[in-house]
């Protein structure tokens, strides 16, 4: 069987030629390295965004308005964006729900961030972000969306900053929509409710029915009694976002009622990595898994297991042994410092001076 | 513990094993201090340098499009020379050392950086980071010691070929980037039959490909883009590469060749402790004193001692730790070798000229005075 490659268009071919020439002119760099100096948000650049406005929502929650690069594609309400933020000079990647209306005339989007205890990035964004700062972005992603057509009866169950993707959806529900929407939201007190005023205004206008649960005075939401506030649970499609405890309770309850297919959940905090001493090390490219102690270097451990490890000085100075840590925690054998990574963080470690501090996945 | 170059005493003889361990601990403490304070301002520094270098290169190359006019030629050539020096020294060398890996910025990372030099970065990283920095000044292990073509230590056996080393060193200075590429490629070892042929050919192709791209850019494309200024842009690019070669060669010669720098026997590093490794770096390197601008243009390799102690610390921090390191030298009774650029370059050249001749020749010419002194002392 033969296949015909699509014929390149004349302009396409010309563009390719010009690009190639430009690369020859700028070698060993690429034209983008110079163009980035001039305009980091231009079309064709690595996706970035610039903070153009900062709005404090509550004492520890802030909304950042971001002007994305030209190649940003419109998101679907409910989706999140991965953000690369330099904190103390170190690039850290986190995901945040998009909270803005679609098709803003200024082309911007917004995210809403809650400062969590000990959170490197969230505290930085809430307390230290400055207008004009350029952040790194991925395209919006995530399947926590209403879908089309939108169901007519909707329940949102959220807690804390779990309201953010839901706000992203509520703001984009057309004004003429006839949907029957209930929002059950949990927060410690009335003042802690992110977008409190806006939610109450929506309720006052009859767009939603809002059930506030102030956990400090009322205690946590008891999923088993949820039907007393929302009596037609089984008729609704439910979107829930909040701490894992809440989501698990909802999942169990919905499964027990055999309506699991009507429940859509979003875990807004990814797995927390707790460093330990030693652990299971997976070299994911070769598919080798070993149980390593916290005392031996990953380089030694890998070599002993027959993995072809790049190596050099074996004392931490030449950077000849660096490899991506895809997931997990390692301890620096020179100074005891712990480095953790989850997928997409782009963390690279020196295997000759790193030991497993819990399960980890090395891309070798 | 060391076979020193013609010094009659071991400069470390007065240090006990415990002293050396303490010295190591003190240096580790300096390192930890920098690691703890490394952060946003350092990241801003390297980004600013890269940004400025790219703007300087772009504008210099733009000016050279009109290099037919002598002032444009001069301004463009000066700008491009400075830009190439910064790109190789403060940026390329240091990024490829992994000094900025901690930022987790994939565009400023030792694993992804490629520099404006004939030698491909991966080969350079192997011969420089791994061999030279691990085996600093160990005769027979550190090929940087005379780059395998020169005799820079009395303990290297003299061969008639070394008679021409003053000339070959001058030539190496002019074509330094190709010298580095040939050196990283281990041409010398290949000629002696000590390198696998297939591997050599494979790496040789990579070098030639890089050289082809570099040459096409500087000597074909940019001149062509300059239209009527083609010839003058060609001479400007040749000049900028020559200036960069001469400057980097001079700076790098000052790192390990000046008088006072120690070399070490292969056997001396067996079972070396961290403290002993530090000690070897301290005695095997020499600094250059001068202004901030000079330090910057050397890529802070003027703090060669600090760089060799802590090759992975950001270069912008060497200056601040230099007094603490000098203080350790002082307290442990060691000599912190340093001097102005002209003095150190002169010293290195003097040694290269002197060692082009066999030791016996020098002994006959110099030793009598020394022996006389010793007999007086005794």
Closest-CA residue of A relative to B88 is A28
Give the pLDDT band of residue B368 (cuts 50, 70, 90). Answer: very low
Closest CA to A34 of B60, B224, B119, B66: B60
List of chain A residues whose C-beta atoms are within 8 Å of the C-beta of residue B181: none
Contact: B214, A21; criterion CB under 8 Å? no
The pLDDT of residue A6: 60
DSSP letter for B333, please: T
pLDDT, tens digit (0-9, with 9 covering 90-100), for B24-61: 999 999 999 999 999 999 999 999 999 999 999 999 99
- Mean pLDDT score of chain B, rounded to an integer? 91
pLDDT on residue B107: 94
Give the H or E element holding residue A210. Answer: strand A209-214
Q: What is the largest CA-CA distance in chain B?
A: 75
pLDDT band at B364 (very low <50, low <70, confident <90, very high): low
- pLDDT value at position B268? 86
Q: Per-residue pLDDT averaged across B120-146, rounded?
A: 89
Whether the CB-CB separation of B322 and B309 falls below 8 Å is answered with no
Q: Closest partner residue to A312 among B104, B116, B129, by Cβ?
A: B129
A75: distance to nearest CA of chain B, Å?
A: 26
Which candidate from A21, A317, A335 shows the least CB-CB separation from B312? Answer: A317
> Which of the pair, B144 or B162, is modelled with greater confidence?
B162
pLDDT tens per residue across span A312-323? 888 898 899 999
State how beta strands A279-283 and A354-362 pair: parallel
Residue A134 has pLDDT above 90, yes or no: yes
Mutate to test the interface with A, among B104, B122, B276, B281 (most CBs of A within 10 A): B104
Interchain CB distance below 8 Å, A27 and B213: yes
Enumerate the residues of chain A whose CB falls inside 8 A of the CB of residue B39.
Answer: 88-90
Q: Closest Cα of chain A to B223: distance in Å?
A: 11
Chain B nearest C-alpha distance from A126 (Å): 17
The rounded distance, in Å, linking the Cα atoms of B253 and B275 is 26
Report pLDDT for B377.
35
Mean pLDDT of A255-278: 83
Could you give the ipTM of this predicted complex? 0.86
Distance CA A309, CA A311 (A): 6
Q: Are A67 and A101 in contact (CB under 8 A)?
A: no
- Interface contact B103-A86, CB threshold 8 A: yes
Instruction: Tell if the CB–CB gap between B217 and A347 is shorter than 8 Å.
Output: no
Q: Which of A69, A158, A71 is nearest to A112 (CA)?
A: A158
Maximal CA-CA distance, chain A: 72
> pLDDT tens for residues B233-291?
999 999 999 999 999 999 999 999 999 999 898 888 888 999 999 999 999 999 999 99
Q: Which residues of B are less than 8 Å from A348 in CB distance?
A: 101, 104, 109, 111
Best of B35, B43, B52, B54 to disrupt the A interface by mutation (most A CBs within 10 Å)?
Answer: B54
Which residue in the set A28, A37, A348 is minimally distant from B111, CB to CB?
A: A348
Nearest CA in chain A to B135: A313
Q: What's the pLDDT at A342? A: 87
**Residues B88, B299 contacting (CB under 8 angstroms):** yes
Q: Can you give A144-192 as a three-state secondary structure string?
A: CCCCCCCCCEEEEEEEHHHHHHHHHHHCCCCCCCCCEEEEEEEECCHHH
Interchain contact, B101 vs A348, CB within 8 Å? yes
Residue B345 and residue B21 in contact, taking contact as beta carbons nearer than 8 Å? no
Alpha helices of B260-310 — where are they, by DSSP H?
A: 274-283, 292-297, 304-309
Contacts of A37 in chain B (CB under 8 A): 51, 54-55, 58
Asked if B277's CB is within 8 angstroms of A37's CB, the reply is no
When the pLDDT of each residue in chain A is averaged and rounded to a whole number, the result is: 92
Nearest to A89 among B42, B110, B210 (CB): B42
Q: Which of A20, A319, A324 to mutate to test the interface with B (most CBs of B within 10 A)?
A: A319
Task: Give Cα A115 to chain centroid, integer Å.
Answer: 15
Nearest-CA distance from B309 to chain A in Å?
Answer: 10
| Chain B residues with a Cβ under 8 Å from any Cβ in chain A | 32, 35, 38-44, 51, 54-55, 58, 97-98, 101-107, 109-111, 114-116, 125-126, 129-130, 133-134, 210, 213-214, 216-217, 221-222, 225, 277, 311-312
Return the C-alpha torsion angle B276, B282, B283, B284, nearest 10. Answer: 100
State both tokens at B186: 């281990």
In chain A, where does DSSP find H-type helix?
Answer: 10-26, 31-38, 120-127, 163-170, 196-204, 215-218, 226-229, 244-256, 298-304
Chain A residue numbers touching B58 (CB-CB < 8 A) = 34, 37
pLDDT digits (tens, 9 = 90+) for A179-230: 899 999 999 999 999 999 999 999 999 999 999 999 999 999 999 999 999 9
| Cβ-based interface (< 8 Å): residues of A facing B | 21, 24-29, 33-34, 37, 86, 88-92, 312-313, 315-320, 322, 335, 337, 345-348, 350
Q: Are B72 and B64 in contact (CB under 8 A)?
A: yes
pLDDT of res. B366: 56
How far, in Å, are A206, B96, B325 from residue B115 at the CA level? 63, 9, 30
Reduced 3-state DSSP string for B88-141: HHHHHHHHHCCCCHHHCCCCCCCCCCCCCCCCCHHHHHHHHHHHHHHCCCECCC
- A28: cis peptide before it, omega within 30°? yes
Of all residues in chain A, the one with the smallest CA distance to B35 is A335
pLDDT at B52: 97
**Per-residue pLDDT band at A271 (split at 50, 70, 90):** low
Greater pLDDT, A69 or A272 = A69
Instruction: Look at residue A188 in the predicted model and tell me its pLDDT.
Output: 96
Model pLDDT for residues A219-246, shown as the tens digit of each residue:
999 999 999 999 999 999 999 999 989 9
Predicted local distance difference test score (pLDDT) of residue B361: 82
What pLDDT, on a 0 to 100 scale, did the predictor assign at position A104? 95
For residue B269, what are its two tokens? 């590093």
pLDDT value for B369: 44
* The dihedral formed by the CA atoms of B352, B357, B361 and B365, expressed in degrees to the nearest 10: -40
Please check the confidence at residue B6 and state whether its pLDDT lies above 50.
no
- pLDDT, average across residues B156-161: 89
CA distance B343 to chain A (A): 30
Interface contact B130-A313, CB threshold 8 A: yes
Q: What percent of chain A has pLDDT over 70?
A: 96
pLDDT in tens, A321-354: 999 999 999 999 988 889 999 888 889 999 999 9
* B222–A29 C-beta distance less than 8 A: no
Mean pLDDT, range B123-130, rounded to an integer: 93
Cβ distance B129 to A316 less than 8 Å, yes or no, reads: no
pLDDT band at B192 (very low <50, low <70, confident <90, very high): confident
Report chain A's terminal Cα–Cα distance, integer Å. 38
Domains of chain A (ranges; CATH) run 48-137 (2.40.30.10), 153-267 (3.40.50.80), 279-362 (3.10.20.30)
Q: Which residues contact B298 (CB under 8 A, 6 or more apart)?
A: B89, B251, B288
Contacting residues of B for A336, CB less than 8 Å apart: none
Query: In the structure, what pLDDT confidence band is assigned to residue B149 with cuts at 50, 70 and 90?
Result: confident
Nearest CA-CA distance, residue B347 and chain A, Å = 29
From residue A261, alpha-carbon distances to A235, A266, B61 in Å are 12, 14, 63
- For an interface test with B, the pick among A24, A26, A28 (most B C-beta atoms closer than 10 Å) comes out as A28
Give which of A253, A235, A268 is closest to A144, Cα–Cα.
A268
What pLDDT, on a 0 to 100 scale, did the predictor assign at position B139?
86
Which pLDDT belongs to residue A269? 59
CB B86 within 8 A of CB B127: no
The pLDDT value recorded for residue A4 is 55
- Residue A218, burial from CB neighbour count under 10 angstroms (0-12, 13-18, 19+): exposed
Q: Which residues of B touch A29 (CB under 8 A)?
A: 114
- For residue B374, is pLDDT > 80? no
Q: How confident is the model over A15-67, as pLDDT tens digits? A: 889 999 999 999 999 999 999 999 999 999 999 999 999 999 999 999 999 99
With 50 as the cut, is the pLDDT of residue B370 above it?
A: no
Band the pLDDT of B376: cuts 50, 70, 90.
Answer: very low
| Chain A residue numbers touching B42 (CB-CB < 8 A) | 89
Nearest neighbour of B104 by CB, restricted to A28, A91, A320: A91
Q: Where are the beta strands (DSSP E) in chain B?
A: 287-289, 338-340
How confident is the model at residue A239, as a pLDDT? 97
Q: Do B134 and A313 touch (CB under 8 A)?
A: yes
- Report, as an integer, the average pLDDT of B201-221: 96
């Amino acid at each position: 069987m033969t296949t015909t490659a699509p014929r390149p268009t004349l302009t396409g071919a010309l563009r390719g030629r010009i690009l190639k020439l430009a690369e020859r002119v700028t070698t060993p760099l690429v034209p983008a390295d110079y163009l980035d100096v001039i305009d980091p948000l231009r079309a064709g650049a690595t996706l970035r965004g610039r903070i153009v406005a900062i709005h404090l929502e509550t004492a520890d929650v802030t909304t950042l308005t971001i002007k994305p690069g030209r190649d940003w594609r419109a998101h679907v309400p409910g989706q999140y964006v991965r953000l690369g933020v330099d904190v103390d000079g170190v690039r850290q990647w986190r995901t945040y729900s998009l909270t803005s209306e679609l098709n803003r005339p200024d082309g911007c989007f917004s995210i809403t961030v809650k400062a969590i205890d000990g959170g490197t990035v969230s505290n930085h964004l809430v307390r230290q972000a400055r207008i004009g700062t350029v952040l790194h972005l991925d395209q919006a992603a995530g399947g926590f969306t209403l879908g089309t057509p939108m169901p007519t009866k909707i329940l949102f169950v959220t807690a804390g900053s779990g309201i953010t993707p839901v706000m992203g959806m509520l703001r984009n529900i057309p004004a003429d929509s006839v949907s029957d929407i209930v929002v059950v939201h949990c927060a410690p007190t009335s003042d802690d409710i992110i977008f409190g005023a806006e939610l109450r205004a929506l309720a006052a206008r009859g767009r939603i029915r809002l059930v506030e649960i102030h956990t400090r005075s009322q205690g946590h939401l008891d999923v088993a009694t949820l039907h007393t506030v929302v009596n037609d649970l089984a008729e609704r499609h439910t979107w829930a976002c909040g701490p894992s405890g809440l989501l698990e309770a909802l999942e169990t309850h919905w499964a027990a009622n055999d309506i699991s297919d009507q429940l859509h959940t979003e875990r807004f905090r990814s797995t927390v990595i707790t460093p330990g001493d030693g652990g299971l090390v997976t070299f994911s490219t070769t598919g080798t898994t070993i149980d390593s102690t916290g005392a031996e270097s990953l380089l030694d451990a890998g070599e002993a297991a027959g993995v072809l490890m790049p190596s050099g000085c074996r004392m931490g100075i030449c950077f000849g042994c660096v490899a991506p840590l895809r997931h997990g925690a390692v301890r620096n054998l020179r100074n005891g410092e712990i480095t953790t990574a989850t997928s997409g963080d782009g963390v690279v470690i020196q295997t000759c001076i790193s030991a497993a501090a819990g399960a980890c996945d090395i891309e070798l | 513990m060391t076979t020193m170059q013609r010094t009659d005493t071991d400069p470390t003889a007065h240090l006990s094993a415990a002293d050396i361990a303490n010295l190591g601990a003190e240096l580790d403490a300096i390192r930890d201090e920098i690691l703890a304070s490394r952060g946003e301002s350092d990241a801003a520094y390297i980004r600013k340098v890269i940004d400025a270098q790219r703007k300087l290169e772009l504008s210099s190359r733009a000016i050279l499009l009109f290099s037919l006019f002598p002032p444009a030629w001069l301004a463009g050539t000066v700008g491009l020379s400075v830009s190439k020096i910064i790109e190789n020294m403060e940026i390329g060398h240091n990024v490829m050392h992994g000094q900025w890996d901690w930022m987790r910025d994939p565009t400023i990372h030792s694993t992804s950086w490629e520099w404006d030099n004939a030698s491909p970065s991966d080969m350079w990283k192997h011969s420089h980071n791994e061999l030279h920095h691990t085996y600093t000044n160990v005769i027979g292990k550190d090929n940087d010691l005379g780059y395998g073509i020169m005799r820079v230590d009395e303990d290297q056996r003299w061969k008639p070929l070394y008679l021409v080393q003053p000339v070959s060193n001058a030539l190496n200075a002019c074509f330094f980037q190709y010298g580095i590429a040939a050196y990283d490629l281990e041409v010398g070892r290949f000629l002696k039959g000590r390198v696998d042929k297939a591997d050599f050919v494979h790496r040789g192709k990579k070098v030639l490909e890089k050289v082809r791209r570099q040459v096409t850019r500087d000597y074909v494309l940019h001149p062509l883009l300059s239209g009527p200024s083609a010839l003058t842009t060609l001479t400007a690019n040749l000049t900028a590469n020559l200036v960069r070669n001469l400057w980097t060669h001079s700076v790098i010669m000052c790192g390990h060749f000046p008088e006072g720098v120690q070399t070490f026997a292969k056997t001396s590093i067996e079972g070396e402790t961290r403290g002993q490794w530090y000690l070897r770096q301290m005695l095997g390197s020499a600094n250059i004193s001068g202004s901030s601008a000079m330090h910057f243009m050397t890529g802070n390799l003027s703090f060669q001692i600090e760089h060799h102690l802590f090759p992975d610390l950001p270069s912008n921090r060497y200056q601040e730790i230099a007094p603490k390191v000098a203080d350790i030298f002082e307290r442990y009774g060691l000599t912190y070798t340093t001097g102005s650029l002209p003095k150190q370059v002169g010293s290195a050249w003097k040694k290269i000229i002197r060692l082009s001749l066999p030791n016996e020749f020098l002994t006959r010419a110099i030793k009598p005075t020394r022996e006389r002194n010793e007999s007086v002392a005794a």
